Each structure stands twice: as structure tokens, then as C-alpha cells.
Amino acid sequence: MANLSIDLFKKTLRNPVMNGSGTMGYGREIESLWSIDTLGAYVTKGLSLKPHHGNPPPRVWEEGQGMLNSIGLQNVGLERFFAEYFPLFKKRNTPIVINFFGFTDEEYIECAASIRPDPFIIALEINLSCPNVTKGGICMGKEAQSVFSIIERVKRRTPIPLIAKLTPEVADIVQIAQAAVSAGADGITLINTMPGVSIDLAAKRVAFRGGLSGPPLKPIALKAVADVSRAVHVPVIGAGGITDHEDVIQFLMAGAQAVQVGTATFIDPFAIPKMLAGVARYMDEHGLARLESLVGAAHA
Amino acid sequence: MANLSIDLFKKTLRNPVMNGSGTMGYGREIESLWSIDTLGAYVTKGLSLKPHHGNPPPRVWEEGQGMLNSIGLQNVGLERFFAEYFPLFKKRNTPIVINFFGFTDEEYIECAASIRPDPFIIALEINLSCPNVTKGGICMGKEAQSVFSIIERVKRRTPIPLIAKLTPEVADIVQIAQAAVSAGADGITLINTMPGVSIDLAAKRVAFRGGLSGPPLKPIALKAVADVSRAVHVPVIGAGGITDHEDVIQFLMAGAQAVQVGTATFIDPFAIPKMLAGVARYMDEHGLARLESLVGAAHA
Amino acid sequence: MHDTEGIIRENLRLCRDFYRCKIELARPIDEVIPGQFIMLKVPSAEIFFRRPFSIYDYGKRTVTILYKTVGKGTRALASAPRKERVMVLGPLGHGFEVHRGYTPVLVAGGIGIAGIHLLWKQLEKKACLFYGCSTEKEVPLLGEVIHQEPRICTLDGSAGFCGNVIQLLESSLSLVGEKPYVYACGPQPMFANLKGVLAEKRIPCQVLVEERMACGLGLCFGCVKKTLDDREPYKRACVEGPVFDLWQISL
Amino acid sequence: MHDTEGIIRENLRLCRDFYRCKIELARPIDEVIPGQFIMLKVPSAEIFFRRPFSIYDYGKRTVTILYKTVGKGTRALASAPRKERVMVLGPLGHGFEVHRGYTPVLVAGGIGIAGIHLLWKQLEKKACLFYGCSTEKEVPLLGEVIHQEPRICTLDGSAGFCGNVIQLLESSLSLVGEKPYVYACGPQPMFANLKGVLAEKRIPCQVLVEERMACGLGLCFGCVKKTLDDREPYKRACVEGPVFDLWQISL
Ligand SMILES: Cc1cc2nc3c(=O)[nH]c(=O)nc-3n(C[C@H](O)[C@H](O)[C@H](O)COP(=O)(O)OP(=O)(O)OC[C@H]3O[C@@H](n4cnc5c(N)ncnc54)[C@H](O)[C@@H]3O)c2cc1C
Ligand SMILES: Cc1cc2nc3c(=O)[nH]c(=O)nc-3n(C[C@H](O)[C@H](O)[C@H](O)COP(=O)(O)OP(=O)(O)OC[C@H]3O[C@@H](n4cnc5c(N)ncnc54)[C@H](O)[C@@H]3O)c2cc1C
Ligand SMILES: Cc1cc2nc3c(=O)[nH]c(=O)nc-3n(C[C@H](O)[C@H](O)[C@H](O)COP(=O)(O)O)c2cc1C
Ligand SMILES: Cc1cc2nc3c(=O)[nH]c(=O)nc-3n(C[C@H](O)[C@H](O)[C@H](O)COP(=O)(O)O)c2cc1C
Ligand code: FES
Ligand code: FES
């Protein structure tokens, strides 16, 4: 079968497909259906220094051909994660990306600093989409300036490659990505969810407020990947509505080195294994030796 | 039958449903199926001082359950519009909104200034989503500062109520809307298309770049309407993925005084007449005397 | 646990807005613990999420659900013809734990019977079932009475005791036998009343709760129920639940 | 012009990836000018836009199209069973204008026959048709020959003249009669060659062009064709077209 491996941050991954942060629990849950080592890399749920309880239910909402979520970053905290969940990935020989966040610059920095380098940790992914309490709750990732400063300060405190994960709710995502890279980001993940609202007609109220994910995001994410990958020299990881192997290949062609899949797994828990098989088939049919040859193909 | 009329800018409209700018030609085309006076008001194609040729084809692209377009603002210019197309609306006794644009501040201002007040023109709608050539092609509508100054300068040159139509590709649409209102905007239309990209797998190239419209926009538009209508005291007009009467009512509940329908008409040319009938049915079933009572109902 | 293709063999309207759907599976389903559920891909392009349904009954290659139409997904399911293909993920979640040495008391309110029926079937003689619904029209939801006559009540008094199922339970809890252990499924308000009735003697009780779900697999943390564990209050209804100890959740 | 519900009465694979679809309409269709088209709502939730198809033939309550599967929409249509319901908007657009006092010469390349067939049928004896396709397998697309024997060519020489239809036309244009007037439909490259052949004598010619469409009604300005009118170069294929004067468009 075709070789799907790709290189990222000087490591070789089995394949370019990761889960999106927060869409594959703590890694063990999916193993009732398939082994976590199916993934090119596992991306953790958003982790923080201290545990977070998250929001009251409902936390998920169907919205047309997509969904809204407001999980509220529930997580067990770094300490419990490493004690209880991290060993699985070593056992499965599966590289992981640690997605993390904070509600103040200091929380971000301490969080990153407290993560000890480990051969299985290929990168930290900083979630810049969450409210900064010290800045009146507006999110980090919206101003190039604040993105630059947080990334720069985090980089000073960790030797682990740092991926900046950006929100699409910005005026110019290329500018934000460039700020992140010039501050030292080693990679960019595009995109996080897009804030949306759903109205309950019967109840005459806002039924739900949360982040939009799934197929409706795809053209927005492809644009971010196409534009940013042209503008920066670091690897771009694409996410947003990826549902099948054709979507994966489209994101690679748009300039992504790797992709993340979230919502699709909720609809079909075998979406990821299926898309990997599909990508392999595509490579065989097109006599492709390496996936790298597809990356950015659409730029030409 | 129920009374669907609403008041906007001291005029009474038959109903709250308009077409979205650029999605109903010059008004006469649809009359092979239904009379233009079916609309609460007709919104013109984006007009400019001088005619514009627009972009080469293809200009429209199917994208999942939505579409991308890059028409490139083709239009016959104000002069020809008033000479050839405007008379129809007088004949049909149909109020119109004049959507206009320019590629420099001066073009915007001259354009607005050159439109003579007329009882049938209820408002001008300024399209802030187009590239400003003097500012390196980045669009007007992205910075509160430039929005404030353009609106303020336009208002000085026209007595006609001015609606600011905003792009969703911003960091904080409430802030932009507030800038527009404090500069004198009499209303806000939310939202214009969201930039997106589609990849052609077979051709290995960017198949299309353009503005995303249709159902994928709906949750993003509803959020803009819910948040902006809470923050400003002028009427908000909702647009983005409205397909049936339930969508219309949801936008009203979210805080819109009126709505605009674009893409839905391409899929079902009778979408607008059908949704008007649906809204009337809803009013009868719920014993509603006036639609105003629904506006912002979801805020409570 | 698998994600299996299935074919709708029966999709019958039992009464009012209640339906029973029997699905034949392409491969055998794992053993089911009463209270477990499936995530069903409703056969309609309009419905994005799968929908969770308790396993009402099952055989080697069949699973049966009992459902009430409350919105677009269940309405779409109700209109699905026989022979329609669906995807069935399950069995999922933490079901009822039956404790020896107690008298099992089953309490079902309305469609809640869907989550209790399998337990009732498996407990046989020992179990005594309290079933409450709004009118006699809904009594057939019980299906064929398996053994011990259930105690029935209706809100309109058209059948059995007149009142809600918790009032019925309260009126006869003393008579059900030694050391009652309650297993309940029904609407939220029912649980609050239940708590009131069981509080004094602090009678042990497990309840099956419903939360909106996206994945049903523990991946999204979208389906949480608040518990009294202050270290980690929000537990996933699809993994740690849907069956919780009544005394450990906050209503 | 209406948007009418229709039922697929026939959806037949004629050869290779060519299909003929006959649709029965809920109400009579207006009179059709050859070259006009319909916007068809393909019966599949995956297909968002309607798709434009030339009216190959029509009756009081039926419309027939001939189509080639080139992508997901046409493939979805090809897999639509008989009795499937569709929506049919039309007749749309500016069709062919037949000018008296000329010898009508019809030129169709491949699936282009779909846009020419109705004109051929209406012109009867007078018309002489040049039809080019890739192989004899595609000759049946002509349907039953209505009157004057058409001139056929195939790229592989398996039937008729060996070459493309423009070469065929060139070789015999002098023989077709007095004052030829060409009506053509086919792929883009064909038009360029056609222009070359007709240039010298500047023979009058109308061509049916295809552009991607969203509305088909002139609402979106998405389907434009570039013309030599420099005041307003881009004309809508769905209103000013799809039939244009070859000498007025820029290829
Ligand atoms: C573990 C579990 C087991 C269930 N078992 C059954 C069963 O055996 N029979 C049955 O009829 N129903 C059962 N439900 C509830 C069922 O899943 C919902 O009624 C269904 O998902 C509603 O979908 P809808 O599209 O029709 O409604 P929607 O249009 O999505 O919503 C309509 C109404 O249903 C409510 N609702 C939606 N989803 C859920 C949900 N997941 N849980 C509770 N309420 C919801 C909404 O709050 C809303 O008021 C179960 C739910 C869970 C979590
Ligand atoms: C006025 C008019 C009349 C037409 N008549 C016929 C006809 O009688 N028979 C027939 O088979 N086809 C006809 N076409 C072309 C037909 O509409 C397209 O082949 C069809 O829309 C492709 O849809 P798809 O989803 O299968 O392809 P897509 O997946 O949308 O695209 C696949 C390929 O088809 C091309 N394509 C897509 N849409 C169009 C379009 N509107 N025009 C031209 N190329 C397109 C794309 O460029 C792409 O290369 C006509 C087009 C127009 C504008
Ligand atoms: C339920 C849910 C939880 C998520 N949690 C996080 C998170 O904790 N941190 C983060 O950076 N992104 C989070 N995301 C965003 C996803 O990782 C991903 O960027 C987004 O969903 C787009 O991909 P998709 O369309 O494939 O889901 C979450 C998404 C969902 C749906
Ligand atoms: C083909 C097309 C052309 C458009 N042209 C304009 C325009 O000229 N000016 C403008 O302000 N908005 C324009 N829009 C945006 C629409 O008016 C509307 O804001 C957007 O499409 C969202 O509504 P919808 O989802 O109902 O289409 C255009 C949209 C489409 C699809
Ligand atoms: S539904 Fe996703 S974790 Fe329970
Ligand atoms: S397809 Fe919309 S104008 Fe022609």
C-alpha cells in the first residue's frame, strides 16, 4: 500500500491526518472502534494548567449541515493528563500535539513552560481563540500585536515546536499568521471554529451560541490555507469541514502539510480510517510516491 | 390575509423581505415569473458612478450547500440605471434601496452625492466589502476607523438615509457597526458574503475564489444580527442563507427589522413569494397583528 | 461495539406520536446492558447529527427502539419507509447496574419506558414496574406484559391510578417489598419529584438521563450531566452515563 | 415561462456517457425557440445549483434533454430512476434566429447536437446538418433522421468522414447551396475553428455557448460571455444568449 508518511518538525508521521483538538476526547475513547495509532498524530483536547469544568449543557447544537459547540474548554488539567492519559500514546507509539490555552498571557506562558519535552510530543498547539479575561474577554487571536507578543513570550519558555492555531473571525488572517511566524511560531493551524448563533423559533429565543464547525467552514478554511501557506515559510495544518479523502487532498493542494478532522468523526466514527484508505487509493491510482508532491500543488 | 407591513426610515414597506443586492438583476428579469412589487423593497445591483465590466467567467461556483461568486461588480453605472431601469419601480410603485460602491473614498462620495432624492428611494446601501485601490486593495469595511470616515463623508453629501452593509470578514463586527452608526449610518445590513476558495481536485488548482453565500452563512449572519442589533439603535437588515419563512422569522427574532434574500432565489425562483406566504401563515396561526412584535424577541 | 449497517424492518406508529422501529443489522450486536443506547443515522440528508435512542429490545441481529416525535430528526425517522438503510452505532454508554439483595422497582414516565423496558424484561418476576403516561392511549407502549402486572397511572385518569407516576410510587412504595432499589427513566421534572419521595429513607436509585449528543462516544464532551463530584462536576452522558446514581447528580 | 414540476418518464443511456431524459410536466410548456434551455433541479440533496440543459425536443406536456455526464450533477441525474420528481424552469434564453433567404447549415460537435436537434427538426427539408463526434458509437445521438441525410464525421474514422466537423464543413461548404447561414453548437475549440473557416466569406453564423450558471434567469450575472461590445462586453448567456452571433463574441 502507498506510503502516506509526511515530515513535520523533523519527525516523520505515518500520515497527514490528525484529529482536531477537542474532537477525540482523551484518545482512549475511540479505541473501542479503532486504534489511536491510526492517526498521523493525536491532538489533545485543549489543556490548561489547572482543570476546567467547562460550560453547562447543552454544549452541542446541530446547525444545518454543520454544528455549533460551546464546550467551554472542560479539561482535567496538564498534571492529570500526563499522569492518566499520556501513557497510552507512548504505548501506541503515537506522536501527539498538545493543544493548550489560558485566560491570561501568564496562564498561557506557564502552561507551555510546564510541559516537559518528550520524544512523543511533536509540538504544542496554542489555541488563540479563547477569551482573554484581562482584555475584557476579547480573544487573543484577533490582533497581530497581541498574537506576536504572546507567541514570542511562550517561545522563550519552551524548546518544543509551537503551532499557532488561529480563529477565522479576523479581518486579515494572513496578517495574523505572519505576526505569529515572525514571533517564532513553527507552524500554523487553520482554522478554529467560526462563532455562530442558532435561533429557536418555537421558544423565540437564542437557542445556542457557539463555534461553527463542519462542512460550512470548508471554503473559508481552504481560503485561509491557500493564502497563509503562500505568505509564510512554516508548515500549515488545515482544518475545517474535512469529511472525506478528497477534502484531505484539496487541503494539501491548497498548501497544507497536514490536516485535522473534527466534526466528521461525530457523524461517521470511521471517517478518518476511511479517508486514509481513500488517500492511499488516490496515491496508487496517480502513481504518487510521496504526499509532499501534492502540497501547494494548487498554488502553481 | 395578515398584514406583513413594516416601517423603515419613516416609510411603510409592504413586507420585510427584500432581495440581496446583486441577486435580482435590474429588477425586470424576475417579472417573467412574479411582479417586482412582491418585494418589500427592491435592492439594486451594486452601482457605481461609471459603468463596470466586471470579471471574466466563470463567476459563480457551487460549493457544498452554498455558492461562491466573483461577479466583479459589473453594472451599467448610475446614469444608465436611472434612465433605463429606474422607471419600472415607479411604475410598480415599489420602493428601492440603491446599493453603491467605489474603489476610492472619493468615488463612494461622488456616487452618493450624485443620487437625487426621490420618493421611491428609501435608502442608499453602501457596500463596504470592496477593495480600496488607494489602500492596497484591502477592503473599506475592515477597520472601524475607515468605516467611520467614509460614512461620515458620505452622510455630509446626501440627505437620503444611509445603510452600511458590512463584511463578516472582520475581527469584531459590533465594533464596525458602532463606528458606522456613530458616523451617522441610519441602518446596518448584515452580512455580505464571506470570502472562500474551492479547489479543483482533478485540475490540481484553485478552482474558484469568491464570496460565500447561501445556507453556510446563516449561523454567522444570525450572530452578527443578534449582537449588532443589541448594540446599536438603528434598524438592522439581516441577510445570509435565508431560504424559507422560518429563516425570515428567525432573523426578525434575532433583531432584524427586515431581511434580504439572495442565493435562495437561484435555487427556487419562487423562494421569496413562498416565504412571504409562509410568514403570513405564521402570523395568522400565532394571531400576530404586526411583525414588529417579533423583532428582537430572541433578545429577551 | 460496532457501527453497523441496518435495514428498517418495522417502523410502526403505536399511538399518537409514539413509534416502534425494528432494525435488522448486517452483523450481530454485542450483548446489551439495559439502559445502553445506540446512535442512529436517520436516513435523511437534512439531519446532520446522529440521534441517540435507548435499546428497547434486541436480538442477535436486530435492535428495536421506541421513540416519540419531538423534532425534525424523529419526524424524519417516523417517515422512513421499511427497507430503508440506516447506520447503527452501539451498544453505547453505561447502563443500569442491578444490585442483588434488593427489590428492583422500575419507574418509567412516558417515553421513559423505552429506557426501562429491557431491564424489566431481564429482571423477570422479581421486578415491579410503575408506569405513568398521560392517557390510556399510551398504555400500549408497555408492549406485551412480560410477567408481574405493572402498576399504571395516567394523568387524565383514563386508565389506572389518576396522577403522575411518582405519586403512584409514593402511594405504594411501602408495599413493594424489602429494600427497594429504584431504576427510573423519564422527563427531568420526574427525577426531582422522585428525589423528594426517596429522600427520607434515602432509597438507592439509578436514573437514565437524556442530553443532547453529537458523537455518543465520549469524543466531544458535548453531552454532559452535572454531578456532585466537585473535582470534575460534568460527566458525559454517553460514557459515564446515561445511567447515573440519582444521589450523585445535581438536578 | 414557468417553473413546473415534472416526472422523469425516461432516463436512458444511449451510448457511452450520453443519456436522454424525457420529463413529463405538470403543466404545458410555452412554445420553445430552438436553442432555448431549461434549468433542471437535479433530484439529489448533494446538488445545490440547478443545471442548464438545451431543450432537445418537447411536446405539449413533455420536454426531452440529451446530456453527457461530466461531473457530479450530470452523474446524479444519470442515476435518477424513472418516476423521480424534478423541477423544470423554462424555456429560457435567447434561441436561434432563422433568417429567410439563406441556406441553413447546422453544425453540431459531440453533445452539441442537443442544442441543434430541435432547430434541425423545425427547419425540415431546407436544413443540412453536419454532425461530428469521436466514434460511430455516438452517431445514435442524432436520433431518427428526420429528413435530409446528415453529413457525419468521426474523429477515429469509424463512421463517415474521418476528422472533426469543421474540417468536414470546410470540405463541403461550397456544395451546400446559396448563401449559407451557419447555426452551430459544440465545444469552445470548435467555435474558433469555425470562425477560421467562415472568416474569408464572412458567412453569417450563430453559436450556442455554454457557461456556468447559477440562476438561468438573468438575476446573478454569473454566466457571462465576452462580446465585442466594448460599452458592455460581458453579456449573460442566460438572457442575451445562449445563442450569440459568432461575429459579435470574442473567443
Ligand atoms: C441516552 C439517550 C437515550 C434516548 N432514548 C430515547 C428513546 O429511547 N426514545 C426517544 O423517543 N427519545 C430518546 N432520547 C431522546 C432523543 O434522542 C431526542 O428526542 C431526539 O434526539 C430529538 O431529535 P429531534 O431532531 O427530533 O429533535 P430536535 O429538533 O433536535 O429537538 C427537538 C426537541 O428535542 C429535544 N432534544 C433534542 N435532542 C435531544 C437529546 N439528545 N436528548 C434529549 N432531548 C433532546 C430538544 O431539546 C428539543 O426540545 C434519548 C436521548 C438520549 C441522550
Ligand atoms: C445554455 C446551456 C445549455 C446546455 N445544454 C446542455 C445539454 O443539452 N446537454 C449537456 O449534456 N450539457 C449541456 N450544458 C452543459 C451542462 O449544463 C453541464 O455539463 C452541467 O451543468 C455540468 O454539471 P456537473 O455537475 O455534471 O458538472 P460539474 O461538476 O459542475 O463540472 C464538471 C465539468 O462540467 C463543466 N461545467 C459545469 N457547468 C457547466 C455549464 N453550465 N456549462 C458548461 N460547462 C459546465 C465544468 O467546467 C467542469 O469541467 C449546457 C450548458 C448551458 C449553459
Ligand atoms: C466539540 C468541539 C470541541 C473543540 N474543542 C477545541 C479545543 O479545545 N481547542 C481547539 O483549539 N479547538 C477546538 N475545536 C475546534 C476543532 O479542533 C477544529 O478546529 C474545528 O472544529 C474545525 O474542524 P472540523 O470542521 O473538522 O470540526 C473543537 C471543535 C469541536 C466541534
Ligand atoms: C451573485 C451575487 C452577487 C452579489 N452582488 C452584490 C453586490 O453587488 N453588492 C452587495 O452589497 N452584495 C452583493 N452580494 C451579496 C448579497 O447581497 C448577500 O448579502 C449575500 O449573498 C448573502 O445573502 P444570501 O446568502 O441570501 O445570498 C451578491 C451575492 C451574490 C450571490
Ligand atoms: S456526545 Fe460526544 S461526548 Fe457524549
Ligand atoms: S445564470 Fe444568473 S444571470 Fe445567467
- Write the pLDDT tens digit of every residue in C43-72: 999 999 999 999 999 999 999 999 999 999
Answer whether the bond into residue C91 is a cis peptide, omega within 30°: yes
Q: In the predicted model, what is the mean pLDDT of residues C179-202? A: 92
Is it the case that residue C236 has pLDDT exceeding 80? Answer: yes
Backbone angles phi, psi at A89, to 5 degrees: -70, -35
Task: Order across the sheet with D37-41: list the strands.
Answer: D51-54, D37-41, D85-92, D2-15, D18-25, D62-68, D57-58
CA nearest neighbour of A255 among B169, B203, B206: B206
Bridge partner list, A61: A68
Domain ranges for chain C, please list them. 3-92
Backbone angles phi, psi at A276, to 5 degrees: -65, -45
ipTM of this complex: 0.95
Q: What is the pLDDT of residue D88?
A: 98
Tell me the pLDDT band of C145, cut-offs 50, 70 and 90. low
Query: Among all residues of chain D, which has the CA nearest to that of C46?
Result: D45
Q: What is the pLDDT of residue B110?
A: 96
Q: What is the pLDDT of residues D177-187, one digit of tens each?
A: 889 999 999 99
Q: In the predicted model, what is the mean pLDDT of residues C228-241? A: 96
Q: What is the pLDDT of residue D177?
A: 83
Catalytic residue among B2, B76, B130, B275: B130
Provide the chain B residues 224-283 that lie in CB contact (below 8 A) with chain A: 226, 241, 246, 249-251, 253-254
Q: List the grid coordinates of A135.
A: 482584555
CATH code for the part of the protein at C3-92: 2.40.30.10
Q: What is the pLDDT of residues B182-225, one digit of tens each?
A: 999 999 999 999 999 999 999 999 999 999 999 999 999 999 99
Is it the case that residue B283 has pLDDT exceeding 80? Answer: yes
Q: What is the pLDDT of residue A185?
A: 98
Q: Which residue lies with its CA nearest to atom 30 of ligand 1? A: C71
d(CA D156, CA D16): 15
Task: Tell me which chain B residues have a C-beta less than 8 angstroms from the C-beta of D47.
Answer: 62
Could you write out the DSSP letters of every residue in chain B? -----EEETTEEES-SEEEPTTSSTTSSGGGGTS-GGGSSBEEPPPB-SS-B--PPSP-EEEETTEEEE-----B-HHHHIIIIIHHHHHHTT--EEEEE--SSHHHHHHHHHTS---TTEEEEEEETTSB-GGGTT-BGGG-HHHHHHHHHHHHHH--S-EEEE--S-SS-HHHHHHHHHHTT-SEEEE---EEEEEEETTTTEEEEEEEEESGGGHHHHHHHHHHHHHH-SS-EEEESS--SHHHHHHHHHHT-SEEEE-HHHHH-TTHHHHHHHHHHHHHHHTT-S-GGGGTTTTT-
3-class SS of residue C193: helix
Task: Tell me which chain A residues have a C-beta less than 8 angstroms from the C-beta of B220.
Answer: 194-196, 212
d(CA A44, CA A186): 18
CA distance A258 to chain C (A): 21
Provide the chain A residues 90-149 that lie in CB contact (below 8 A) with chain B: 138, 142-143
d(CA B83, CA B86): 7
Which among B45, B54, B67 is the nearest to D214, CB-wise? Answer: B67
Q: Dihedral of the CA atoms B153, B157, B163, B166 (nearest 10)?
A: -30
Q: What is the pLDDT of residue D152?
A: 87
Q: What is the pLDDT of residue D30?
A: 95
Helix (H) or strand (E) run with residue D68 in it:
strand D62-68
Which among C48, C49, C220 is the nearest to A23, CB-wise? Answer: C220
Residues of chain A with pLDDT under 70: none
- What is the Cα Rg of chain D in Å? 18
Q: What is the pLDDT of residues B43-89, one digit of tens each?
A: 999 999 999 999 999 999 999 999 999 999 999 999 999 999 999 99
Residues whose CB falls within 8 Å of the CB of residue B91, separated by 6 or more in sequence, listed in order: none
CA nearest neighbour of B169 among A227, C71, A170, A272: A170
- Could you give the residue numbers annotated as active site of A? 130
d(CA B113, CA A116): 64
Q: What is the pLDDT of residues A98-115, one digit of tens each?
A: 999 999 999 999 999 999
> C45 touching D, CB under 8 A?
yes
CA distance B105 to chain D (A): 25
Tell me the pLDDT band of C160, cut-offs 50, 70 and 90. confident
Q: Which atom of ligand 2 is nearest to the CA of D114?
A: 8
Q: Which residue has the higher pLDDT, D102 or C173?
A: D102
Is it the case that residue C149 has pLDDT exceeding 90? Answer: no
Residue with cell 455557448: D209
Is it the case that residue B33 has pLDDT exceeding 80? Answer: yes
Query: Among all residues of chain C, which has the CA nearest to that of D45?
Result: C45
Provide the chain A residues 1-30 that lie in CB contact (below 8 A) with chain B: none
Which among D48, D223, D225 is the nearest to B66, CB-wise? Answer: D48
B245 touches B98 (CB < 8 A):
no
A275 touches A17 (CB < 8 A):
yes
d(CA C185, CA C197): 15
The alpha carbon of C77 and the centre of ligand 3 are apart by a number of angstroms equal to 29
pTM summary value: 0.96
The amino acid present at D234, given as its one-letter code, is Y
Q: Which atom of ligand 2 is nearest to the CA of D75?
A: 26
Is it the case that residue B130 has pLDDT exceeding 90? Answer: no
Q: Give ∠ CA B88-B90-B92 in degrees, rounded to 5.
A: 70
Tell me the pLDDT band of D162, cut-offs 50, 70 and 90. confident
**Mean pLDDT, chain B, whole residue set:** 96
Query: Among all residues of chain A, which has the CA nearest to that of C51?
Result: A267
Q: How many CB atoms lie within 10 A of CB D5?
A: 15
Touching subunits of A (3+ CB pairs, under 8 Å) are B, C
Q: In the predicted model, what is the mean pLDDT of residues D45-62? A: 96
Q: What is the pLDDT of residue B123?
A: 98
Q: What is the pLDDT of residue C142?
A: 85
Q: What is the pLDDT of residue B137?
A: 72
C-beta atoms of C232 and A51 within 8 A: yes
- What is the Cα Rg of chain B in Å? 18
**Mean pLDDT, chain A, whole residue set:** 96
Q: What is the pLDDT of residue A139?
A: 82
Q: What is the pLDDT of residue B140?
A: 84
Tell me the pLDDT band of C146, cut-offs 50, 70 and 90. low
Q: List the grid coordinates of C205.
A: 436509585
Our answer on whether the CB atom of B99 is closer than 6 Å to any ligand 4 atom is yes
> D149 touching C, CB under 8 A?
no
Tell me the pLDDT band of D146, cut-offs 50, 70 and 90. low
Q: What is the pLDDT of residues A56-66, one digit of tens each?
A: 999 999 999 99
Q: What is the pLDDT of residue D173?
A: 84
> C89 touching A, CB under 8 A?
yes
Chain C interface, best mutation among A60, A79, A243, by max C CB count within 10 A = A60
